[in-house]
Amino acid sequence: MSKILIIAEHDGASLNQSTAKCIACAAEIPDAEIHVAVFSDNGADVAAAAARVAGVAKVLQVENAANKQALAAVLAPQIVAFANDYSHIFGPSTTFGKDLMPRVAALLGVNQISDVMSVLGSHNFQRPIYAGNAVVSVEAPADLIVVATVRIASYRAAADGNNAEIAASACAADLPDHTRFVDLQSGKSDRPDLQTAGKVISGGRALGSAENFDLIYKLADTLGAGVGASRAAVDAGYVPNEMQVGQTGKIIAPDLYVAIGISGAIQHLTGIKDAGTIVAINKDEDAPIFEVADIGIVGDLFQIVPELEQALS
Amino acid sequence: MEKILVGLKRVVDYNVRVRVKSDGSGVETDGVKMSINPFDEIALEEALRIKERGEAGEVIVASIGGSEAQQQLRTGLAMGADRAILVETNDAVDPLTGARIFMGLIDREQPGLVLLGKQAIDNDNSQTGQMLAAIWGRPQATFASAVVLDGDKAKVTREVDIGLESVEVDLPAVVTADLRLNEPRYVKLPDIMKAKKKPLDQIPLADLGVDTATPIRETKFEPPEQRQKGIIVEDVPALIAALKDKGLL
Give the domains, in start order, of chain B with CATH numbers. 3-221 (3.40.50.620)
B246 lies within 8 A of chain A by CB: yes
Confidence (pLDDT) at B1: 93
State the pairing for strand pair B153-160/B163-170: antiparallel
Per the CB < 8 Å rule, is A114 touching B127? yes
pLDDT tens profile B99-126: 999 999 999 999 999 999 999 999 999 9
Closest CA to B181 of B162, B156, B161: B156
A84 to chain B, closest Cα gap in Å: 18
Amino acid of residue A187:
G
User: Cβ neighbours of residue A143 under 8 Å, at least 6 residues apart?
Assistant: none
- Distance, in Å, from the CA atom of A139 to the CA atom of A125, rounded to the nearest integer, reads 7
Interchain contact B235–A (C-beta under 8 A) = yes
List all residues 6 or more positions away from B16 whose beta carbon is below 8 Å from its beta carbon: B32, B33
What is the mean predicted confidence (pLDDT) over A224-250? 94
> Rounded distance, CA B174 to CA A9, Å?
23
Is A112 part of the contact surface with chain B (CB cutoff 8 Å)? yes
Query: CA–CA separation, A243 vs B180, rounded Å?
Result: 14
DSSP-assigned letters across all residues of A167-218: EE---------SEEEEEEE----SSPPTTT-SEEEEE-GGG-STGGGHHHHH
- Residue A131 three-state SS: helix
Q: Report CA-CA distances (Å) from B62 to A80, A131, B85, B114, B230.
A: 30, 24, 5, 11, 47
CA atoms in the 13 A half-sphere facing the CB of A146:
29
Test mutation, A19, A68, A95, A199, chain B, max B CBs within 10 A? A95
Q: For the purposes of burial, counting CB atoms within 10 Å of the CB of A308, is it exposed (0-12), middle (13-18) or buried (19 or more)?
A: buried
Structural contact between residues B1 and B57, judged by C-beta atoms closer than 8 angstroms: yes
* pLDDT (mean) for A136-148: 97
- Residue A171's pLDDT is what? 86
B125 interaction partners in chain A (CB closer than 8 Å): 102, 112, 114
Quote the pLDDT of residue B165.
97
Question: What is the average pLDDT across A179-202?
Answer: 90
Contacts of B16 in chain A (CB under 8 A): none
User: Distance (Å, rounded) from C-alpha A230 to C-alpha A244?
Assistant: 6
Q: What is the pLDDT of residues B23-37, one digit of tens each?
A: 999 999 989 999 999
Q: Which residue stretches of chain B have pLDDT < 70?
A: none
Please give the ipTM for the structure prediction: 0.96
φ, ψ for residue A91, nearest 5 deg: -140, 165
Q: What is the spatial distance between Cα A31 and Cα A263, in angstroms, rounded to a whole number?
A: 45
- Cβ-based neighbours of A289, under 8 Å, separated by 6 or more: A259, A262, A263, A264, A268, A269, A278, A280, A282, A296
Tell whether A246 lies on the interface with B, counting CB pairs under 8 A.
Answer: no
pLDDT in tens, A62-114: 999 999 999 999 999 999 999 999 999 999 999 999 999 999 999 999 999 99
From B145, which residue of chain A is nearest by alpha-carbon distance? A241
User: In which band, very low, low, confident or very high, does the pLDDT at A187 lie, cut at 50, 70 and 90?
Assistant: confident
* Minimal CA separation from B174 to chain A, in Å: 11
For chain B, give percent helix, strand, coil, nearest 5: 30, 30, 40
Q: Whose CA is closest to B124, among A131, A65, A166, A20? A: A131
B237 touches A at CB < 8 Å: yes
The reply to whether residue B221 touches residue A134, judged by beta carbons under 8 angstroms, is: yes
- The predicted pLDDT at position A247 comes to 86
A189 pLDDT above the threshold of 90: no
Task: Chain B: give the shortest CA distance to residue A32, in Å.
Answer: 21
Strand, helix or coil for residue A32 = strand
What domains sit in chain A, N to C, each tagged with a CATH number? 2-168 (3.40.50.620), 199-312 (3.40.50.1220)
Residue A237, SS3 per DSSP = coil
Residues 87-106 of A with CB under 8 A from B: 94-96, 98-106
C-alpha pair distances (Å), A104 with each of A39, A112, A150, B147:
14, 9, 15, 25
CB B37 within 8 A of CB B8: yes
Interface check for A83 against chain B (CB to CB < 8 A): the answer is: no
Q: Tell me: the pLDDT tens digits for B166-186?
A: 999 999 999 999 999 999 999
Q: What is the mean pLDDT of chain A?
A: 96
Please tell me if residue B183 touches chain A, with a CB cutoff of 8 Å: no
